[in-house]
Structures are given as structure tokens and as C-alpha cells.
Structure 1
Amino acid sequence: MTAAPAASPDWSRHTYAALDLGTNNCRLLIARPEHRPRRRNAELLRVIDAFSRIVRLGEGLARAGRISEEAITRTIAALDVCREKMDARGVTRARLVATQACRGAENGDEFVARVRERTGLELEIIDRETEARFAARGCGALADPTAESALLFDIGGGSTELVWLARAPETGGYSFRAWTSLELGVVTLAEHFGGRSVSAETFAAMARHTREKLAPFAQAMENERRCPRFHLLGTSGTVTTIAGVHLGLERYDRWRVDGLWMSDDEATRAIARLRDMDFDERVANGCIGPQRADLVLAGCAIFDAIRELFPAERTRIADRGLREGMLLELMEEDGALARGV
């Protein structure tokens, strides 16, 4: 008699999705657990489908205090695409989150209700600490395991999260030591100072404004342990764009950017190249394009402020973060990463 096959664990029947609706972007990732990592840095997810669209949900929010009707229309159209992809891929487990734009808007809850009514998607407005935790979980595997500590930063459209990671010898990984979140991102900074034409004085003012916001966290971290291998770990469109410019890519290539190490001098030179471009040149650049051309220099100013307050010889670039963190947590809840991965 042939023995009956063992029952499959619950997670083996799941297809997972994570949606991150930020101030600037709507991003979806659909994946299943990968138990035989084939690339360096131990890829734990087998991506089945992905979607990203710039929706500028937070456009004008700092001035009006509300999400505009135009932004709502753009965003719901993108969320319709996300719902169609999730249905087509048979998603059975998902987490769909909204961040700073919905946190800060007086009509954030009303917007979430409209999304539910129009698309059937249940968005969850997460707090800043949860956002920072997801980002750390999503790209923490790229931190140098021999360093005593590292600073993770995520420059978003409406907020910037920083997480101090301290090495935990008992696990061989890093612990979530401290964090902060600034109500400051590329959209809010560009709207305040201007993003199309950025003079040296304007760029300096953006960096100075960011340093002032970051100063309390920098002071709180002064006595944390550092070693010669201390480094920055950046995840955002800003740092991946800087990496693409550094590499001289004609078109953005995630596989060349994710995990890239950049020295501090290389980052300085890449930012200088971006600052030397006028608006039309940024639009024409394959790593920037028309939808980010007025935002990228604001992101560079934030990155410069972080580098000044947390000096490090190198930065690692992560083209991963919030969505990957959500997926990994969902899979861990199901025991889907339990085979020593």
C-alpha cells in the first residue's frame, strides 16, 4: 500500500501580497517564500508580480491639510490595478498599508473608506514605528554582519525614517536599537523649497532644514557603539537613483543596484552630477524620468544631511524595504520561513 502524502503546511497554499501606499508612490509586491536562496544576500522571497506607480497622494497636502480630489482619483486608479493583479495571482494573504499622507491628512480616514467602497481593498494606516520596523525587516539582511552598528534610513515622500541597528551576537543579526521618524520627505521638502530649479543656496537651505530636524536623534545616538565598519544602509527612490547615476546606467537596473556598496566620495560625486543637471536633463535621465525630476534633489539634500550628522565611509544601497518587510512578517506568522532560511 502506498503511504498517503503528508499534508502540506498552511503556508504552502498561500500567495502573499504587500501594498505600500506612500505620499508619492503606490507599490505592490506579490511573492511566495523561497526556501532555496540562489543569490547572494539570501533572497527569501520568490517574486511573482510587482507594480509601482507614482500617484503623488500627498501633493499639496502640507498646504491644504487634505488629500486632494485629483490625488484621490489618481490613487484609486492605481489601486484598481493592484486589486486586479492580486485577483489574477490568487493572493490569499495580504497586508495593505498607507503611510504619512494618510496619517497627516484630515480626510485620511475618509480616503480609506472611499478606497474600500471603490476597490474592495482594506487599507491600514500604520504608525511611524511600524513603518520603521517593516523597513528594517525588509532590508536589514544587507547590513554588514561584521559591523557593530549601522544606520538604516528610508527617505519617503512625506516622511523619513531612521533606525539605529546594533549587532546582536546571540542571533548573529541586528537588533532594533532606536528609531525616529521625521515629517519630512522629498515631496514636502520640494514643495516648500522648490524642486524644478534648485540653486546652490536652495540646496543648502534644504540640507540645513533637514539637519535641524535630525539633530535631536543624532545627539541621542552620540554614545552608541561604532566601529571602523560602521555604515549607512539606505532604502528609497533617492538612494537607488543616486546609485544608478553613479553606475552610469542608461536605464535603471534593480539587479545592479540592490546591495551595491558606495563610498562616501562616490556618493558625493553622484550627487554633484545630479545637481549639475537642469530639470530637462533630469527628465531625460533613465534613472530619474519626468515623474521624479522635481523631487530627486530634495532627496539628495536629505541624504547629505544624514551623511553629515552620521559620518560613515560607505553606504549600502537597498532596492527593497517596506513591502519585503511586510511579506517576511506574514510568512513568519505562518511558519513559512521555518526551514532554517
Structure 2
Amino acid sequence: MAAIDCGTNSIRLLVADLPAPSAGPQAPLVDVTRRMEIVRLGQGVDRTGRLAPEAIERTRVALASYAAQIEKLGAERVRMCATSATRDAANAADFRAMVEQTLGVEPEVVTGDEEARLSFTGAVRGLPADAEQPYLVVDIGGGSTEFVVGTREGGVEAAVSMDIGCVRMTERHLHGDPPTLDEIAAAQADIVVAVDRALAVVPGREAATLVGLAGSVTTVVAVAQGLTEYDPARIHHARVSYEQVADVTADLLAKTREQRLAIPVMHPGRADVIGAGALVLRVIMERAGMPSVVASEHDILDGICYSIL
């Protein structure tokens, strides 16, 4: 089966096989391939309310490559979910028409609640035994961040999506290179309001383990670990402390874009927005009282695949 997640900043593909029945009900999928391209579909959406033609074209090019690989690998079922940027855009119909023509499948523009539930489902399978329940799962995307509380056996207890993604916060507040202290303070204030609102809906402060998803989290964890190259195997289920996250966040926000590009684990398409993504993670940990975060490389893509079943 094949799952595509098209967000505000990136478009990602997972082609996977089901685990063997003997592996048990919590066994993860068997990856055939995972791919990610930074296409910045949400470029300017927070300001204009529309998807930019050049952003749709960048997405089309990446999607055409994915479609070719899906056909080559012989995936029997395909589901594509589009998230924050396409929920917000007045011209989302242009995007949908492009996807149908390129992929041959209609994209599903999922709600923030559905996005949160898919992310939770993908993230909690295979978590290590020392990750105590209940979980607070946070998926820090480009346009929005999803907050989900639940358990492996009982599923989702509560979920909410807030418009505090790394692209949105960068475009709204962090204009300097590096951003000024006033810009950072404005972004932090915006994030605090949204996080507190989310934690009033989901009981995140009562959770035992914070699980962080998506590129902002995995990049912060990779930097905190001092990796010399991006290694998903070392990042997946790695645990880092609040103090490490705070140090990495301060360092990223103090650097210029060129300095961030020089960090060995930094994807070029993430260098301009990683400061905002790290700030979102740091504020979540502060407001929820979380001493550490467990990173997961399994997320909404895995949840989309499970949903196909």
C-alpha cells in the first residue's frame, strides 16, 4: 500500500507491506520506501489565503515522481491526504485537480482532528516499553501542530489542531536573519496562547510521555544528539531532555540561515523555518511540564497506511 502526506512544507511518500500475522497486533509496517521532498506548498497562504501557482507546480513535480515509483513498486492501494495549507486555501480546487491528473487519485483534505488521529495511530505502534502511557503526541507541521492524548490500547482520548506550524510562525514573525529578540518574543507569545488553548482541550499535562513527530522534532533531536549525518535509525525513539531542546532552540534562533545550512543534519528546505519549529517544541514542553520528548520517525504516513486497512 502507498500513503502520501502533503503538508504545508513537505510532501512525503510511504510504500509499505503489512507485517506478518505472527508479528502481533502492535507490529509496525514493513517499509518498502520512504521519501520526502520540501515543496513549501503553503508558501504565503497565511498572508494571501491562496496557494501560489509556483508552489502547486513544485508539488506537481514531486508528486509525478512519487506516482511513477508507486506504479513501479506495484502498490495495490493508494491514499493521499492533504493537510493544513489546503484546508486554508481559497483555490484548493486547483490543487485537487492537479493531484487527480498527476496521481490518478483524489486527495482527501483531512480535518485537523482527523490529521491528529492519523498521526497518533502511526506514532504509538512500536513505542518502547519505557515510554509510559498515556501519551501526548504532538505533530509539528508547517502550517499547524496537532495535539493528541491517548493510549495504545484505548486509542485517542482527545485531539485538537492549532495553527502554529513552523512555516506559518516564520512567515508571521521571524523576518530577520537571524530573527531579532522582539521577533522571537512575538512568536513565542503567539505560540504560548495556542499551546495553552490546546492543553485546555486535551489533557496533555496529565500524560506520562511526550512523543514528537515530523521534521522539526527529528531535526532538533538529531542536533541534540550531535549526529554528523541524518540517521533515522538513531533518531527514531531517541529521548532528549527539555534542557537539550532549549539549548538547541536558542542556538538555532541565534544563527543565520547560512549558519543553519552548515549543520550536518539540516535539510536545505528546512533551514529557514527550523527555528520556529524548535520554538514550538520548546514551548509545548514548558507549558505541558514535560521533562523530555521521544522522537518518532513513524507518524501520519503510517497512520494513513493503517487507515487503508
- TM-score of the superposed pair, with normalisation by structure 2: 0.92
- 1:61: how far off? 1.0
Paired with 1:210 and 1:284, the residues of 2 have a C-alpha distance of 27
Letter in 2 for 1:116: E
Q: Is the 8 A contact 2:5 2:80 kept in 1?
A: yes
Letter in 2 for 1:322: I
Change (3 A) 1:103 1:92: same
- 1:312: how far off? 1.5
Q: Is the 8 A contact 1:261 1:315 kept in 2?
A: yes
- 1:145: how far off? 6.7
- 1:148: how far off? 4.4
Q: Which residue of 1 aligns with 2:169?
A: 189
- 1:85: how far off? 0.4
Letter in 1 for 2:69: K
Change (3 A) 1:137 1:214: same
Q: Which residue of 1 aligns with 2:146?
A: 161
**How high is the sequence identity, in percent, across the aligned residues?**
30
Paired with 2:205 and 2:266, the residues of 1 have a C-alpha distance of 36
Between structures 1 and 2, the one with greater helix share: 2
Please state if 1:285 is matched with 2:263: yes
Paired with 2:129 and 2:198, the residues of 1 have a C-alpha distance of 22
Q: Which residue of 2 aligns with 1:82?
A: 66
Q: Is the 8 A contact 1:206 1:302 kept in 2?
A: no
Decide which moves more: 318-327 or 107-116.
107-116
Q: Which runs of 5+ in 1 are unaligned?
A: 1-15, 334-341
Q: Is the 8 A contact 2:148 2:202 kept in 1?
A: no
- 1:263: how far off? 1.9
**Equivalent of 1:211 in 182, 186, 192:** 192
**Equivalent of 1:35 in 20, 24, 41:** 20
Q: Which residue of 2 aligns with 1:321?
A: 299
Paired with 1:235 and 1:217, the residues of 2 have a C-alpha distance of 17
Please state if 1:243 is matched with 2:221: yes
Q: Which runs of 5+ in 2 are unaligned?
A: none
Paired with 1:324 and 1:124, the residues of 2 have a C-alpha distance of 16
Paired with 2:154 and 2:255, the residues of 1 have a C-alpha distance of 38
Q: Which residue of 2 aligns with 1:296?
A: 274
Q: C-alpha deviations, 1:31-79, integer Å up to 9, x for none? A: 10122899xxx65211112221000101011111111110111110011
Paired with 1:323 and 1:93, the residues of 2 have a C-alpha distance of 14
Q: Which residue of 2 aligns with 1:17?
A: 2
Structure 1 runs of 4+ aligned residues shifted over 4 Å read 143-146, 220-226
Q: Is the 8 A contact 1:143 1:233 kept in 2?
A: no
Please state if 1:101 is matched with 2:81: no
Q: C-alpha deviations, 1:124-154, integer Å up to 9, x for none? A: 1111111111100000132757734221100
- 1:224: how far off? 7.0
Please state if 1:44 is matched with 2:28: yes
Paired with 1:154 and 1:179, the residues of 2 have a C-alpha distance of 11
Q: Which residue of 2 aligns with 1:5?
A: none
Letter in 1 for 2:163: E
Q: C-alpha deviations, 1:295-339, integer Å up to 9, x for none? A: 000111111221121011221111110001111232xx3xxxxxx
Q: Which residue of 2 aligns with 1:8?
A: none
Letter in 1 for 2:189: R
3-state SS, counterpart of residue 173 of structure 1: coil
**Equivalent of 1:253 in 211, 225, 231:** 231
Q: Is the 8 A contact 2:178 2:253 kept in 1?
A: no
